[in-house]
């Protein structure tokens, strides 16, 4: 899988851009605030229909323009097809092979992308929502139907929290609507949790041996899922749904008192252990970075095992954050098999045969030269 061509119109600081890429390594060089990360973001957005940097889509539209457009030509399973995203004040349109897709779950998965940026080094030690977002984005790529259930869950969760706040303020406690929403929420929560368990099992399978190699056979990595209910990872959807329903019944008064939903996938977390010690709390920065790198490299292999083709890899200003050994391990892993985009202010200090054969692009003030 690779992206052959990218066209931008009124996107961030790009008025108009039409660029073709090498199917192996593309290095994008430029000073800060010139448009390197905007280019990476555009490829990411073409895959996920949303930015990894901002939830405010109007920021993606060039100043004083009415819309932004991203077009890409993709090669996947030996077939070439176009993707298109248009963002305007009226909303967002996504086209796959020139046909507008009404649901994101029908679009996401057409292009598979793994992004590795400096903020991803905080995957292990950062806030739980970072890890939940990681699960949701990666799982959504290989199982687009997951995106549908996640959207439904978030919609019902918002309604349920609104009802809980109303009950918190009232003296009369008619909980009929709350019970209806609780049943609906439990159903989607069970689907999300069951699929997260399967995904985590696959992630462990790839991440553990990769981490063992990067740590020079000195450390073992364990990844554990931390749910808000007591449930076995082997439990099926029906069993998980029953557990949610029972738990919601037992904490109903507490939730009304607090005015919010206290359990569910939106409050779960991932835990990382290196040599059986919690690396989030007790690990060194080097151990945390090695764990994060292992998970990112595992993503590449996981997507390949599920989709049958390697995803596109975006390395946004991250190589300079890694020491020589981790840098080499990363570049050796992707060498010759993954279309990769590397953004950097300079290639000085990055000595690797992978980059010697790369296509070089220079970015300045929203203009790109090959």
- Known binding residues for ATP are 30-37
Instruction: Report the candidate in 160, 233, 223, 140 with the shortest Cα–Cα distance to residue 193.
Output: 233
Residues annotated within a binding site: 30-37
String of DSSP letters for 39-104? HHHHHHHHHHSS-SS-S-GGGGBPTT-SEEEEEEEEEETTEEEEEEEEEETTEEEEEETTEEPSSG
CA–CA separation, 185 vs 154, rounded Å?
Answer: 9
**Region of 78 on the Ramachandran plot (φ > 0 left; ψ -120 to 50 alpha; else beta):** left
Torsion-angle region of 91 (φ positive above 0: left; ψ -120 to 50: alpha; else: beta):
left
CA-closest candidate to residue 200, choices 149, 142, 240 = 142
Beta 113-116 vs 99-100: how paired, if at all?
unpaired
Contact 87, 46 (CB under 8 A): no
168 contacts 257 by C-beta, under 8 angstroms: yes
């Amino acid at each position: 899988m690779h992206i052959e061509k990218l066209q931008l119109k009124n996107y961030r600081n790009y008025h108009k851009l039409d660029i073709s890429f090498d199917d192996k390594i593309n290095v994008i060089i430029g000073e800060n605030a010139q448009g390197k990360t905007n280019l990476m973001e555009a490829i990411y957005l073409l895959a996920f229909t949303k930015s990894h940097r901002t939830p405010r889509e109007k920021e993606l539209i060039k100043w004083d323009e009415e819309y932004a457009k991203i077009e890409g030509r993709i090669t996947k399973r030996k077939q070439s097809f176009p993707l298109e995203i248009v963002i305007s004040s009226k909303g967002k349109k996504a086209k796959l092979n020139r046909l507008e897709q009404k649901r994101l779950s029908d679009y996401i998965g057409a292009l598979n992308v793994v992004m590795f940026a400096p903020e991803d080094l905080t995957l292990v030690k950062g806030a739980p929502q970072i890890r939940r977002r990681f699960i949701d984005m990666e799982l959504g790529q290989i199982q687009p139907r997951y995106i549908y259930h996640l959207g439904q869950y978030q919609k019902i969760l918002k309604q349920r929290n609104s009802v809980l706040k109303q009950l918190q303020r009232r003296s009369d406690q008619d909980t009929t609507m709350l019970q209806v929403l609780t049943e609906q929420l439990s159903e989607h929560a069970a689907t999300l949790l069951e699929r997260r368990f399967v995904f985590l099992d696959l992630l462990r399978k790839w991440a553990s041996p990769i981490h063992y190699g990067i740590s020079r056979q000195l450390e073992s990595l364990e990844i554990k899922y931390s749910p808000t209910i007591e449930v076995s990872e082997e439990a099926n959807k029906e069993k998980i749904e029953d557990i949610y329903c029972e738990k919601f019944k037992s904490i109903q008064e507490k939730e009304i008192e607090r005015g919010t939903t206290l359990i569910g996938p939106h409050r779960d977390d991932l835990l990382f252990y290196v040599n059986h010690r919690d690396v989030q709390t007790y690990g060194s920065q080097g151990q945390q970075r090695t764990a994060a790198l292992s998970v990112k490299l595992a993503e590449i292999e996981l997507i390949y095992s599920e989709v049958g083709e390697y995803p596109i890899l975006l390395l946004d200003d991250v190589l300079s954050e890694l020491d020589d050994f981790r840098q080499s391990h990363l570049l050796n892993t992707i060498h010759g098999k993954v279309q990769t985009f590397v953004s950097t202010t300079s290639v000085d200090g990055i000595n690797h045969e992978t980059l010697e054969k790369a296509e070089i692009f220079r970015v300045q003030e929203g203009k790109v030269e090959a």
